[in-house]
């Protein structure tokens, strides 16, 4: 882990990248749904467009909790439910208890050997994962139009730092060394996140601000969850490959498997979960790539996110430098859409020196390091950028079912 405290790296790895996990979005489909369920972990399926599928198991249960005023008591009880192997707390409404007992079961196709290999991969590549979850995945969430709007208008849009702290938990838990074990927290996090998704589906349609901007009647379809899913593992692996980071096939497959299990635990139907990286890339080409676009809401979120680096290092993690790294990862079109200024020093430094820097770090034979102080500067940036949002992560974190939308009359924190 190059001297970086692993717990801190895991925290940072999930912080911004998990932003999308609790505020997802429906996107208009330019072409009919054509991805084959034969490419899924299920190997077959109905072929129904996931834009038209939500969560019929969780949605009515949570809607009744909200409408009956039981959510505050449920949240209080669930604060004590923190470990995967822990029994559900006494006192939960029976309908909710039955759903949660069902939802916490791991899929039958889980390969625990691969999950163990994924742990080793996360240990070895935690520094890269922290940076990519934060700046590739996290900033991408601001240019998934309806995701940005869902975050902006939901309750979490008021206090973004608190929102980051809570949504970080998914990325933190999946990278921990006991993620799906009895003493881990990933199953708990997924089930609670699934409840939050159901609450947002019930609440956001009651927000006049969201209704005015939304193209759909109900947010967070199965398609939307997979859009955000692809902004995480699919995007991360794409960049690792582009950087020519050497990753053995069995580690790459294990990393994918940990995220396949996560998708299932978040309520995604198996017929929509890609079975391989080629299948994931082909699905991402249909559901993610065509819809990336800046919105006023997304630009405001991005601006606030890029300002958080000052909490770590005012010298190297300035807003312009973090903006430059975002431009390097996501491209000029997205960066320009988010009104991120061009940076005359860091833009060319990253463009021409990042590849050689990674090659030298990875011990590639014959690699020539960047000249002058560039190697040191990039290495310092990599280490500190992985911790950019650590200051916002306050443990323990309790993911709780919301009972209201954002009050747009109150300025954001």
Residue 210 maps to a domain: yes
User: Is the confidence at residue 16, as pLDDT, over 80?
Assistant: no
Phi, psi of 174 (to 5 degrees): -70, -20
Residue 35 maps to a domain: no
Residue 26 maps to a domain: no
Give CA–CA dist 171/15, Å, rounded: 7
Domain boundary (226, 256, 288) is at 288
Give CA–CA dist 279/284, Å, rounded: 9
pLDDT band for 11, please (50, 70, 90 cuts).
very low
Indicate whether 264 and 301 sit together in one domain. Answer: no
Indicate whether 76 and 179 sit together in one domain. Answer: yes
Determine the pLDDT at residue 304: 82
Determine the pLDDT at residue 195: 98
**pLDDT (tens digit, 9 = 90+) per residue, 118-137?**
999 999 998 898 888 878 88
CB atoms within 10 A of CB 78: 22
User: Is the confidence at residue 14, as pLDDT, over 50?
Assistant: no
Determine the pLDDT at residue 21: 47
Residue 252 CA neighbour count, 13 Å, CB half: 17
User: Is the confidence at residue 10, as pLDDT, over 50?
Assistant: no
Determine the pLDDT at residue 8: 42
CB atoms within 10 A of CB 208: 10
**pLDDT (tens digit, 9 = 90+) per residue, 239-265?**
999 999 999 999 999 999 999 999 999
Taking the whole predicted model, whether its pTM rises above 0.85 is answered as: yes
**pLDDT (tens digit, 9 = 90+) per residue, 68-101?**
999 999 999 999 999 999 999 999 999 999 999 9
Indicate whether 159 and 258 sit together in one domain. Answer: yes
**pLDDT (tens digit, 9 = 90+) per residue, 170-226?**
777 898 899 999 999 999 999 999 999 999 999 988 887 777 776 778 889 999 999
Instruction: Give the mean model confidence (pLDDT) for residues 42-60.
Output: 96
pLDDT band for 5, please (50, 70, 90 cuts).
very low
Indicate whether 222 and 111 sit together in one domain. Answer: yes
Give CA–CA dist 391/308, Å, rounded: 9
User: Is the confidence at residue 390, as pLDDT, over 70?
Assistant: no
Residue 410 maps to a domain: no
Give CA–CA dist 179/114, Å, rounded: 12
Mean pLDDT taken over the chain: 85
Indicate whether 372 and 235 sit together in one domain. Answer: no
pLDDT band for 22, please (50, 70, 90 cuts).
very low
Domain boundary (230, 259, 288) is at 288
User: Is the confidence at residue 312, as pLDDT, over 70?
Assistant: no
Beta carbons of 124 and 254 less than 8 angstroms apart: no
Residue 147 maps to a domain: yes
**Number of folded domains in the chain?**
2
User: Is the confidence at residue 232, as pLDDT, over 80?
Assistant: yes
Percentage of residues of the chain with pLDDT beyond 90: 57
User: Is the confidence at residue 39, as pLDDT, over 80?
Assistant: yes
Which three-class secondary structure state does DSSP give residue 2?
Answer: coil
Residue 362 maps to a domain: yes
Instruction: Give the mean model confidence (pLDDT) for residues 46-74.
Output: 97
Q: Long-range contacts made by residues 341-344, C-beta under 8 angstroms, separation at least 24?
A: none
Beta carbons of 153 and 210 less than 8 angstroms apart: yes
Domain hosting residue 270, numbered range: 56-288
Residue 5 maps to a domain: no
């Amino acid at each position: 882990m190059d001297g970086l405290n692993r717990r801190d790296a895991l925290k940072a790895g999930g912080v911004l990248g998990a932003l999308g996990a609790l505020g997802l979005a429906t996107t208009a489909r330019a072409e009919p749904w054509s991805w084959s369920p034969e490419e899924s972990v299920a190997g077959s399926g109905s072929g129904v467009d996931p834009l038209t599928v939500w969560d019929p198991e969780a949605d009515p249960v949570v809607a009744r909790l909200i409408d009956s005023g039981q959510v505050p008591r449920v949240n209080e009880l669930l604060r004590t439910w923190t470990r995967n192997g822990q029994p559900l707390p006494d006192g939960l409404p029976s309908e909710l208890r039955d759903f949660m007992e069902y939802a916490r079961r791991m899929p039958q196709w889980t390969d625990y050997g691969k999950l163990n290999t994924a742990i080793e991969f996360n240990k070895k590549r935690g520094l890269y994962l922290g940076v990519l979850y934060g700046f590739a995945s996290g900033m991408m969430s601001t240019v998934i139009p309806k995701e940005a709007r869902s975050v902006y208008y939901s309750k979490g849009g008021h206090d973004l730092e608190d929102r980051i702290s809570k949504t970080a938990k998914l990325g933190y838990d999946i990278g921990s060394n006991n993620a799906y074990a009895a003493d881990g927290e990933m199953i708990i996090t997924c089930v609670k996140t699934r409840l939050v998704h159901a609450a947002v589906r019930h609440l956001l349609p009651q927000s006049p601000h969201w209704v005015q901007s939304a193209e759909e009647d109900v947010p967070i379809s199965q398609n939307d969850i997979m859009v955000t899913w692809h902004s995480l593992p699919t995007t991360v692996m794409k960049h690792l490959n582009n950087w020519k980071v050497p990753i053995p096939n069995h580690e790459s497959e294990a990393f994918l498997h940990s995220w396949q299990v996560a998708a299932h635990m978040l309520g995604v139907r198996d017929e929509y979960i890609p079975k391989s990286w080629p299948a994931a890339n082909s699905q991402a080409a249909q559901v993610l790539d065509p819809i990336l676009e800046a919105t006023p809401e997304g630009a405001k979120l991005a601006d606030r996110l890029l300002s958080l680096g000052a909490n770590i290092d005012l010298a190297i993690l300035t807003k312009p430098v973090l903006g430059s790294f975002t431009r390097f990862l996501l491209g000029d079109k997205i960066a320009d859409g988010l009104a991120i200024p061009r940076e005359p020093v860091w833009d060319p430094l990253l463009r021409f020196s990042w590849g050689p820097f990674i090659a030298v770090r990875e011990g590639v034979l014959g690699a020539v390091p960047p000249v002058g102080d560039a190697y040191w500067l990039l290495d310092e940036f990599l280490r500190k950028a992985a911790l950019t949002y650590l200051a916002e992560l306050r443990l323990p974190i309790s993911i709780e079912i919301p009972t209201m939308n954002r009050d747009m009359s109150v300025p954001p924190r």
